[in-house]
Amino acid sequence: MSQTLEAESVSQPPPLRISRLLHAKRETVFRAWSSAEHVKNWFAPAHFTVPQAEVDLRPGGVFAVCMRAPDGTEHWTRGRFVEVEPPSRLTFEGGVADQDGKPLFRAHTEVRFSDAPGGTQLDVVQTYVFEDPARAAPMVGGAQQGWAQTLDKLEQEVRRMAGAEATGERSVVHATFHLERTYDAPAARVWRAISEEAAKSKWFGGGEGQLEVLERSFDFREGGRERLKGRWTSGVISTFDAVYHDIVPGERAVYTYEMHMDGKKISVSLATLQLKPAGEGRTTLMVTEQGAFLDGYDDAGAREHGTGFLLDRLGASLKD
């Protein structure tokens, strides 16, 4: 009986699960999976390259990737897409064979893309069926590390796609957005969430476990400064540096801020927060930002997207 159970566990290993927060919009992250041009830049562990790939993004379409090891040997993953739901979900099935074409194992992969503070939450679940357990088991045993290294390269690719990597060229891209949220809370309660450090720390930053705070300071007054520096689960370090220029208690705050990513200044922005009564016990918060995105960093709406998430987190904090 024990030998039978052991054999079944080898042929049916537990699913691999891995998650990553990527600093780009869902549409950008999804697009990184959508063509061979992008996939060749990242779909392999560290020190491997992808000389060939075929991506036909539709149910039944081909998904095939050749991973070349440092010693020149090539390993193909060949399969087909099962479900394609832009920009939320992908599933594909494929198999890995040896150099002689003998099947080693099959894999069913589900990838989910969801909005998250700071970018996109990527969740991968991969389920395996061994064709040749003796040779497949060691390969699948290293899959967790391989996927982690692969997602490191995906992070680099989406940042490149969003223009966050240094280009050596000087440029400025301007963007403006306006957002509003109406909360079931009086203006004084919303104002405390904006103006008091303990209350603001509940919503201004990453979600649970997403951001390791390295430095935080808060001096809410005209001429005062605010700073939040943290390391995301992806390893990226972001820094928010703000100066408050105009404060009307309970009504308005105007500030400028710089954003740095891994030490590179990516933007300078002017932001205005305004509070307006919205009926008995309700308050509307209006946020307007004018941003200058610098030297190749065109965020394609990611800042607006991230600010919207922070405002939703602020609303949730008001219920505590």
pLDDT, tens digit (0-9, with 9 covering 90-100), for 92-128: 998 877 777 777 888 899 999 998 877 788 999 999 8
130 vs 51, higher pLDDT: 51
Q: Where are the beta strands (DSSP E) in the chain?
A: 16-22, 49-55, 62-68, 74-85, 89-97, 103-116, 119-130, 172-183, 211-218, 225-232, 237-248, 252-261, 264-277, 283-294
pLDDT, tens digit (0-9, with 9 covering 90-100), for 186-212: 999 999 999 999 999 999 987 677 788
Domain ends where: 162, 182, 206? 162
Same domain, 146 and 276: no
CA dihedral (126, 132, 133, 135) in degrees, to 10, reads -90
- Spatial distance between the Cα atoms of 76 and 101, rounded to a whole number of angstroms: 10
Same domain, 300 and 242: yes
Nearest to 254 by CA among 218, 292, 224: 224
Same domain, 102 and 196: no
φ/ψ of 172, rounded to 5, equals -140, 125
Same domain, 176 and 155: no
* 71 belongs to a structural domain: yes
Same domain, 133 and 196: no
- Spatial distance between the Cα atoms of 25 and 88, rounded to a whole number of angstroms: 11
Tokens linked to 2: 């024990």
Same domain, 135 and 201: no
157 vs 248, higher pLDDT: 248
Same domain, 303 and 192: yes
Domain region containing 284? 172-317
* 167 belongs to a structural domain: no
Q: What is the CATH number of the domain that holds 202?
A: 3.30.530.20
φ/ψ of 141, rounded to 5, equals -60, -30
Predicted structure pTM score:
0.62
Domain ends where: 135, 162, 189? 162
Same domain, 124 and 150: yes
Same domain, 130 and 180: no
* 282 belongs to a structural domain: yes
Q: Find the mean pLDDT for residues 305-313.
A: 90
Residues forming beta bridges with residue 268, ordered by sequence position: 258, 292
Domain count, the chain: 2
Same domain, 6 and 129: yes
Same domain, 14 and 144: yes
Same domain, 145 and 184: no
Nearest to 117 by CA among 302, 316, 318, 319: 302
Nearest to 113 by CA among 90, 143, 147: 90
Domain ends where: 98, 131, 162? 162
pLDDT on residue 3? 41
